[in-house]
Structure 1
Amino acid sequence: MSWDWFTDPDYWASRLAFQRVLAALYLIAFLVAVNQFRALIGTNGLLPVPRFVRRVPFRRAPSVFQFHYSDRFFAAVAWTGAVISAALVLGLCDSVPVWASILVWAAPWVLYQSIVNVGQIWYSFGWESLLLETGFLAIFLGPADTAPPVPVLWLLLWVLFRVEFGAGMIKMRGAPCWRDLTCLYYHHETQPMPGPLSWYFHHLPKPLHRLEALASHATQLVVPFALFAPQPAAGIAALLILVTQAWLVASGNFSWLNLLTMTLALSALDSHLLPFSAPTLAEPPLWDRVLILVVTALLLVLSYRPARNLFSGKQLMNYSFDRLHLVNTYGAFGTVTQIRHEVVIEATDEPELGPDTVWREYEFKGKPGDPRRRPRQIAPYHLRLDWMMWFASLSSSYADAWLEPLAEKLLAADPETLKLLRHDPFEGRPPTFLRARLFRYRFTTPAERRATGEWWVRTPRGPALRAGRLGPDGAAVAAE
C-alpha cells in the first residue's frame, strides 16, 4: 500500500502558522482562567467547583477536578497549561519526536478540558468547544520537521465548514431581519460587548449595513463549500473567511472566537499563498499514520449528529454531542435584539435608605457603564462576568444562579470579586446597601456625541435586583 497521499508538504507553512496561533489562544485561555477562577468557580466563588462536582459525576463532566479540587490545585493546572502553551508559541517543541509532539499538544487539551467541564455557565460558550475541538486535532498534526498529515488537514476544514455554515443556517432560520438584510441596523449597538469601533460601525449608512449582511450570508452559506475544492479555490475561500472574520474582530469583542476561526482558515492555505520554503520533511511513522486514520474514522462517525443538525429545522447552536467536545455544533445570533439593556449595580454606605440616598455605581472592565466611557477592546481576552451581565439584561433567568451571590460578594467587599471590576466606588470597604437597576442604552448620534462627548445615552427602566443588605448569616436580605 502506498502512503504518498497521506502527507502534503505544501501545507508546511500553514501548519506551522496554525500551531503558533492556536498555542497563543490556548495561552490566553489559561491566563483568563488564572485571573478569574477564584471569584467565579473557586472554593468561595459564585458557582464553586466543589459544589458542582458533588452533584455531577465524572461521566457527565470529565475533569481532573473530579478527583481533587482546591484553589491552589486549580491555579497549578491553569499555570501548567499556560507554560506549555507558551513553549508551543515559542516553537520549543518543533523538533521533538512525533510521540513527544502528541503528548505535548495533548497536555493543554486535557487541562483545558478539565476547566471547561467544571466551569458551568461561565464556560458555556461556543468558543470553548471550538478551542477544544481544534486543540484535539492539533494533537495529531505532528512536529515541524514531519510532513503535515492530509486527513487532519481535512478534519480542520470540516470544523471550519461547520463553524461558518452553522452560523449562516442559524441566521437564515432565525430573525426575519437576516432575510431582509436589516439585522445590522441594530447588531453593532446591541451585541454583548461593543468595541472601540462599534459606534462607528453602527453609524455606517444603511445600504452598507445591508451589504454587510449580504456578505455575511455569502461567506457563511456559499464560500465554505469551496474549502473542499482543489487549490487555489480552497485558499481563496479561506482568504475570504479571513477578511470577514477580521471585520468582526474590528467591530466587536467575541473572545477568541473570530481569531480561532481565522486560525482554522490558515490551515487551508498552501505554498502558493504562503510561499515559504519547507525544509526536508520526514514522513510520519507507520504507527502514527494508523493512529491518525483511527482518529479520523472516529470523528467521522461522531460527525453524524452535528452534520444532521446543520440541516435540521430545530438546529442547535453551540452544542456538544459528546462530553469531550470532539465534534460540536456552532452558530451565533440567530436572533438580534433591537434594544439594548444593561444591568447597572449600585451601592451606598449610608446607614439608612431614604429619598436622598446617594447611590454609587460599580464600573465593569468591558461592558457598557459610564456613558462617557468609550467601549474598550477586550478580545481575544475574555471577561466572563461582563459577558454574562449582558445575558442578565436579556432575562433574569440567565442570572438566577449567580446574580444574588454576586450581590452578597459585593456587599462583603470580597477582594477576589472586586478584582473582576474596573472601579469599586468604596475602595475595598463594604457598602451597607446594594441594588441593581435596568437601563435602556443606545449609542449617541454624531450630533449628541459632538455636543456631550458621550458614547451612550441611557434611560432607567426599573429594578433588576431590589435594594438589600447583608444579613447576619452573610446572605443578602431585602431592605425594609
Structure 2
Amino acid sequence: MSMEVPAWLTAWLAGDDYTIAREILERGVAALYLVAFVSAVNQFPALLGEHGLLPVRRFLRHPYARKQPTLFRWRYSDRLLRAVAWTGAALSALIVLGVVQLAPTYVFVPVFLIVWFLYLSIVNVGQTFYGFGWESLICEAGFVVAFLGAWDTAPPITIVFFIRWLVFRLEFGAGMIKMRGDRSWRDLTALYYHHETQPMPNPFSRTAHLLPKWWHRVEVLGNHFAQLIVPWFLFAPQPVASIAAAVMILTQLWLVLTGNFAWLNWITIVLCFAGVSDGVWSWLLGGADVGRFGAETVPLWYAVVAVAVTVFLVVLSWPPLRNLFARRQLMNASFNRWHLVNAYGAFGSVTKERYEVVVEGTADDPYDPEARWEEYGFRGKPGDPRRVPRQFAPYHLRLDWLMWFLALGSRDSPWFEVLLLRLLEADGPTLKLLRCDPFGGRAPRAVRARMFLYRFSTHAEKRETGDVWVRSEVGELVPPVSLRSGQ
C-alpha cells in the first residue's frame, strides 16, 4: 500500500523554471570533465607518472599524501591512471550526450559523483602540476551539479541557488583579490600589461594589447563592475538574475577571446546559466514554448537528499565567506581535502614585464664558442618570435603554465631539473609534451636554459620583420649540462 505525499511538502523545492539551466549545467560541466580527463591521459604519465618529472609514487611516501582522498592512495601505476581517466572520460561523454539523465536520479547522481571522485583522485596526487584554482573549481562544480538530478525530478532550487553562490564566490573573490592585491587594478592601468604578460597568450592577445590605453581603462572598469557589483544581483528575482548572469557571461567571453586560461572562463560561463530561467529563454526566443526537461516536482526521498546536501554545503561555506572579507584574503584556497566550497581569485597582481625561459640543446661540444644550439619549441608558451600564439583553452597545457611560473622565479620548481634530464635522455613521453624537438628524437649532447625578455611587436615592427614578439636575452638560467662526466 503506497502513501501519497502532500504536494506542499516538496513544491517549494522544485526549481521547475530552471530545467534548461540544468541541461546546460550538467552537460557543460561534464564536457569540461571530459576535456580534463583527456588532458590527464595525454600529460599525466609524463609529468607525474612512473618516470615523470614529479613521480606520484614518491609523493605518496609523505604522510600528507596518504591522507588525501584518492584512488591512488595505496597504489599508483600509469596503467591505473589511464584506466581512471578513460573511465571518467567515458562517463562524462555519456552525461554530455544526455544518456545518463534518462536513468532515475538514484542512478544519475552516483554516476556523476563517480566522475567527480575519479577526477578528485587525480587532482589530489597532481602536486604543483594540478595546483591551479580551476582544479578545485571543477571539483566543487562537479559535486554540486550532480545533485541537480535526472529528468525524473525537477532541479532542487536550493542546489540552483548554491551554484549561484559558487559563481558569486568565484567572481566577487576575484574582484576583491584584485582590489586588495595590486595598485594597477585600482588606478585602471592593469590591462596596459596583462594581455602581453598573461601566462599563455592566444591569437588575439597581441591585437588586444595594442588597443588604445583608454580602452584598457574601460576594460578594467568593466571588470570591476562585472566582478564586484553584478554578482550580488544573482540572488535577485527574475529577470534581474538572468541579466546579471548575461553580463558575467559576456565578460567571460571577452576573456576567452583574449587569452588561454584552461577551462576557467568556460566553466564560469556554464555555471552562470544557473541564473537564467526557462521564462527568460522563452522571451529570448520570441515567446516560444521552450518546454520542460523532466518532471516538475521533486520526490520526497530526493527532497530529503537535496536539503541535506544543501545544509552540508552551507555549513562548509563559512570559511570561504569569512575569507571574502578578510584583510589577508586567500586566493584559490581549499579548506578541506575534498575541494568543496573553496575560495577563488585570479591575478591579484599583474606582471608588468614578460620573461620567458628558452630551453636549448646542442649536438656539439657545449663549451665550443662555435657550438650550434637548437631551441626546443613548446606548444603554448612563447618561443619563436615569429610564431603566432595558438588557441588551446579549454585544454590545459600544464607544462607550459609551469614554465611561465618558472620565469617569474618560482621556487617550487624541482621538476625543471628533471625536465632537463629527460631532454638529455631524449625521453619519448616528455618530448611528446613539446611542439618541436630539434633533434628528431635523438639525444642532444648538452642542454641549457636562457632567460629572455619578451614583448609584443608594434604594428610597424610587425610589418618590417614579420615577428610577433621582440625578445632580448637577459641572462643564463641554467648553464650547459650533460650526461657525460665532467660536463
Matches of 2:457 and 2:131, distance apart in 1: 32
The CA deviation at 1:58 is: 5.7
What's the counterpart of residue 153 of structure 2? 146
Deviation digits for residues 323-345 of structure 1 (CA, Å, limit 9, x no counterpart): 00011000011100110000000
Q: State how far apart, in whole Å, the 1-side matches of 2:366 and 2:447 are.
A: 12
Identify the residue that residue 475 of structure 1 maps to in structure 2: none
Deviation sequence 1:236-263 (CA, Å, 0-9, x none): 0000000000000000000000000001
Q: Deviation of residue 21 (structure 1)?
A: 1.0
Which runs of structure 2 are paired with 1:4-403 in the superposition (5 Å)?
A: 4-57=11-64, 60-275=67-282, 276-278=290-292, 281=295, 283-399=297-413, 401-403=414-416
Instruction: Give the Cα–Cα distance (whole angstroms) in 1 for the partners of residues 93 and 324 of structure 2.
Output: 35
Cα separation, 1, equivalents of 2:254 and 2:193: 16
Taking structure 1 as the reference length, the TM-score comes to 0.97
Aligned counterparts of 1:57 and 1:99: Cα–Cα separation in 2: 34
CA distance in 1, matches of 2:131, 2:352: 24
> Corresponding residue for 1:453?
466
- After the TM superposition, which of the residue ranges 145-154 and 366-375 deviates more from structure 2? 145-154
Q: Which moved more, 1:280-289 or 1:59-68?
A: 280-289
CA distance in 1, matches of 2:93, 2:454: 40
**Distance in structure 2 (CA, Å) of the matches to 1:441 and 1:352:** 25
Q: Deviations over 1:21-52 (max 9, x none)?
A: 11110100000000001110001100011111
Distance in 2 (alpha carbons) for counterparts of 1:352 and 1:345: 14
Give the CA deviation at 1:285. Answer: 2.5
RMSD over aligned Cα atoms = 1.2
Match of 1:2 among 5, 9, 17: 9
Q: Match of 1:423, as an amino acid?
A: C
Taking a change above 3 Å as real, the CA distance of residues 280 and 182 of structure 1, as seen in their structure-2 partners, is closer
2:172, 2:231 within 8 Å by CA — same for their partners in 1? yes
Q: Alpha carbons of 1:339 and 1:352: their partners in 2 closer, same or farther (altered >3 Å)? A: closer
- Tell me the amino acid that sits aligned with residue 341 of structure 1: Y
Deviation by residue 1:40-81 (Cα, 9 ceiling, x = unmatched): 000110001111111145663210000221110110000000
CA distance in structure 2 between the partners assigned to 1:433 and 1:8 by the alignment: 63
CA–CA distance in structure 1, aligned partners of residues 280 and 42 of structure 2? 38
**Structure 1 regions of 5+ residues with no counterpart?**
473-477
**What is the identity, as a one-letter code, of the residue corresponding to 2:457?**
T
Deviations 1:73-116 (A, max 9, x none): 11000000000011111111121111101111111101000000
For the residues of structure 2 that align with 1:240 and 1:16, how far apart are their CA atoms?
20
Aligned residue number for residue 428 of structure 1: 441
Letter in 2 for 1:456: W
Structure 2 residues not aligned, in runs of 5+ = 1-7, 283-289
Distance in structure 2 (CA, Å) of the matches to 1:100 and 1:82? 18
Per-residue CA deviation, residues 359-379 of structure 1 (Å, 9 max, x unaligned), is 000000000000000010010
Distance in 2 separating the partners of 1:94 and 1:117: 28
Q: Hey, which bits of structure 1, 4+ residues long, moved more than 6 A?
A: none
1:383 Cα deviation from its structure 2 partner? 0.3
Q: Which residue of 399, 408, 426 corresponds with 2:421? A: 408
2:426 is aligned with 1:419 = no
